[in-house]
Amino acid sequence: MTADNTTGKIIRAADLLAIALDVTIAFFFAAILLITILQVILRYGFNASVLGGVEAMEGLFIYTTAIGAASAIRRRQHININFIVRLLPIFFQKAADICVHLLVGFINAAMIYYSVAWISKVGNNESPVMRIPEWIFQISIPLGCSLVIVYCAVNVLLTMSGQWPGEERTC
């Protein structure tokens, strides 16, 4: 198996995962929208509400944010200020790209480390209304950070294998 073949398979797997994540995000957004509409109709039309609706929306929003960060990293569409970097020769742009992805990966690894310790201490508390363990919401942090690390590694691999996109890449 050649390096190009291996790189191609990794990129295809990363792209398929990105599509799955995008579908998940769209589903979560749709659920948030439907719960919000239902809450408004019930509140203003019938003076009632969905029990746990607000907590469900918060949980979905938390997961959407965590997964969305990874999806944005994959497409190189995450927040980035590259005015100075774009003035550099292409070699230094690639070096900066690798450094940024390594730094983002390191920060997310630290977040995983600290969030796992935090979840083990407070994750058994229950949510006030739905009475489900808080770790179900809190696990979104290490999950999202793990996905970010995977996509940072993929982007570093792309850059090092000569497939570095000068502009944002879409799947």
Domain boundaries, the chain: 3-160
Dump pLDDT digits (tens) for 29-78.
999 999 999 999 999 999 988 888 899 999 999 999 999 999 999 888 87
- What's the pTM? 0.85
Question: How far apart are the C-alpha atoms of 28 and 146, rounded to whole Å?
Answer: 19
Q: Which residue has the higher pLDDT, 165 or 46?
A: 46
Q: What is the DSSP string of 72-101?
A: HHHTT-SS---TTGGGS-HHHHHHHHHHHH
- Could you give the dihedral angle defined by the CA atoms of residues 70, 72, 76 and 81, in that order, rounded to the nearest 10 degrees? -110
pLDDT more than 70, % of the chain: 94
Q: Which residue has the higher pLDDT, 122 or 41?
A: 41
